[in-house]
Chains A and B, each alone.
Chain A
C-alpha cells in the first residue's frame, strides 16, 4: 500500500479525460492508470494523485460537476 497516493475513479472515460485536463491546468500532478482490479472490474482508466492534493482535487471536481470516488492505493 502506498500511503502517499490515492486513486480517483470516475463514471466513464470522458470524465477521466476531463478531470485529468482540469488537474493539469491547475498544477495538480496526476497519472492516468488502469483501474486496479482490487477496486473495480472496470477495464478503463483512473487517476492517481497525491494525498496532499485531495482537498484541491475535490474542490476542482465539485466546481466542474464531475463525480469521483477516492480510494487508498
Chain B
C-alpha cells in the first residue's frame, strides 16, 4: 500500500539501490572529484561523469559537456536567469513556478527586464495562435514550465520551437523528467533545468541544467575546478567553467543509482487518466487537469465546495494516511491562471511505485472525505 501522493514535492520511495550506493560511497569509496588520481578519486569522478552521460541521454543531448550539475532546479534556474545578461521582455508560461518568477521579479525590480505572461486557454495551455500574433522584436527570452506542478498540463513545446526564431527558449522540466525522455537538441531548446529528487527518484540536493551554447551564460559560482589551477580566471572549457567547487558527490552517486535502476511503473497511464475521469464525475469537486488527455502528466489538483484545501488535505491524512500538498505549491501565477488563487488546491502526484489499487484507494478516500 502506497499512500504517498506528494511526489511533485519530492519522490518517495526511491529505488533501494539509491541508499545502497550512497552508503557504499560514504563507507567504502570516498574520494573527491578530479583533484588527484587515487583509486577513490578515479572511482568517484567516473560515477559523476557516468551520471552526466546518463542525464544527457535523458535530455536528448549529444554533447554531455553541455549538461551541468546543480544543487536542484532552483539553483539551476538562478544560474541561468542571472547568468544570461537578459535585457528586454521575458515571456513566461501561464503556469510558471516561483523558481522562475522570483529571479525574474528581482531582475524586473532592477529595471533590467519586463515580465510578460503568455496568453492561455482555460487549463493554462499556451494559446500558440494568440502568442504568435504578438510583436516579439524586443523579446529576450521565453521561459516555459514544461509540465505544470499544479495541474500536470504539458505545454506545446514543438509549436513554440517552430515560431521562436532567434529568441532563447528555456524549459523548466522539473516535473516531467524521469517520466519521459526529451529531445532538447532536436527541438532547438536553448536552455533546460531540472531537479534530481522528483521524477528521477534521486536524492535532494541534486539537479542540473543544459545550455545549447554554454558561452552565452556566465558562471554563477566561481572557485576551484581542479583544472587550470595556476590561473585566477575560471577555465574557458566545459563543464569546468560552470562547476566550481566540490560537486555534491554523495547526491550524484545516489542519482546515478536511481538512473541505473529506474523502476517499471506499477500502474498504466490509462489507469491514471481513469482516476481523473472518475473524480470529475463526483459532485462538489473541481478537478484541475489538462483538458486534452494527451497533454496530461501524472500530477493533478482538486478543490472542494464544502471543505477548504487545508482541511481536505488534513482529512485525507488523518483518516486515510494519504499524503498530499495543499496550498499554492510555490506557483501563484499558475493558480491565478487557473482561478484557484489565493486559496490554492490539494495536489496529488503519483510515482512509478503506485499500483492500480493505490489509485483506486485514493479515489475512494477522496470520495469519502467529500461525502462527509
Contact = CB atoms under 8 A, between A and B. Distances in A.
Given A11-B227, A14-B239, A44 B49 contact: no
B46 A45 contact: no
Given A17-B45, A17-B46, A45-B42, A12 B37 contact: no
A24 to B, nearest CB: 11
B46 A43 contact: no
A46 B226 CA distance: 12
B248 to A, nearest CB: 16
Contacts of A17: 42, 45-46, 49
Given A12-B235, A13-B45, A14-B52, A32 B37 contact: yes
B52 A45 contact: no
A30 to B, nearest CB: 11
A18 B45 CA distance: 10
A11 B107 CA distance: 35
A43 B240 CA distance: 14
A69 to B, nearest CB: 14
A45 B34 CA distance: 7
A18 B295 CA distance: 38
Given A41-B230, A45-B36, A12 B41 contact: no
Interface in A18-49: 18, 20-21, 32-35, 41-46
Interface string B57-84: 0000000010000000000000000000
B237 A11 contact: yes
B36 A13 contact: no
| Interface band, chain A | 10 to 19
**Chain B at the A interface: mostly helix, strand, loop or mixed?**
loop
Interface string B217-251: 00000000111111000010101100000000000
A42 B46 CA distance: 19
Contacts of B42: 17, 20, 32, 45
B229 A13 contact: no
A12 B34 contact: yes
A5 to B, nearest CB: 15
Nearest to A48: B37
A20 to B, nearest CB: 8
A52 to B, nearest CB: 23
B37 A33 contact: yes
Given A42-B227, A44-B227, A18 B36 contact: no
Interface of A: 11-14, 16-18, 20-21, 32-35, 41-46
Interface of B: 33-37, 41-42, 45-46, 49, 52, 65, 225-230, 235, 237, 239-240
10 contacts: A11-B227, A12-B227, A12-B239, A13-B227, A18-B49, A34-B37, A41-B229, A43-B35, A44-B35, A45-B41
